[in-house]
Amino acid sequence: MKKVVILSSLLAAGFTLPAMADVKVELSPDLTLLAVNGSEDFGEKWYSNTREVNLHDGDNQVLVRIEKLIPQAGDWAKFNSKPMVVSFNANNEIVKLSPAFKIDGIQAQNAFEKAPKLDLRTKSNQAVNFNFAVLPGSYSVLTGYEKALAAYNSKQGNLEYLSTPIQSASVPVTTTETVIQPSNQKVIFSSVQSDFLSLSDVERKKFLQWAIIQ
């Protein structure tokens, strides 16, 4: 009775209870979360080891990739898969996203690169239907994934995931690389330096944080 009286007093005084998220997505240790519902700003630093994210009921989308050390010829090599888009619908559930099979060696890595597959299941091990695609287009650690993801969502008609407007619905075209002789290395550095200086403070911090952990 005392707890009820206290709660009623708080509500009467204008206090509100924190909103509860309706869907929780848990990630396997092999996966890194890159974006949620079209945005890299999902409440955690993009370079952090985020293992779960709270979402609202209904349609949601996450962008992930595999980041894992793979044993190779007595040594270890970092496997970074291509970014993968997972769109699904869930209500009042805890779901877990993981690779469809264990990636514990070079053969498994090659198999995943050839035919990437993920698995989304509830706590009771029931499969959850989802749309899956490898993120097309061009992207980099300097510009992040939002532009390529926005282009993909626009082309697919996923307007609810467009966090920022884009000029075209087409997927960005990768430009042809130009071979530069070693004598022009200063030109290459100047170009990279110019790109870095053109970033916002937040984007610069993201890049520097990424460079430190690589």
For the record, the structure tokens of 134 come out as: 């490898």
- CB-based contact 116:84 (threshold 8 Å): yes
Q: What tens digit of pLDDT does each residue of 45-67 get?
A: 555 578 899 999 999 999 999 99
Which parts of the chain have pLDDT scores under 70?
1-21, 43-48, 141-143, 163-214
Task: Determine the number of helices (DSSP H) and then strands (DSSP E) in the chain.
Answer: 5, 9
- pLDDT digit string (tens) for 65-106? 999 999 988 889 999 999 999 999 999 999 999 999 999 999
pTM for the model stands at 0.67
- For residue 186, CA distances in Å to 41, 139, 179, 190, 194 come to 34, 24, 14, 6, 12
Give the pLDDT score at 207: 66
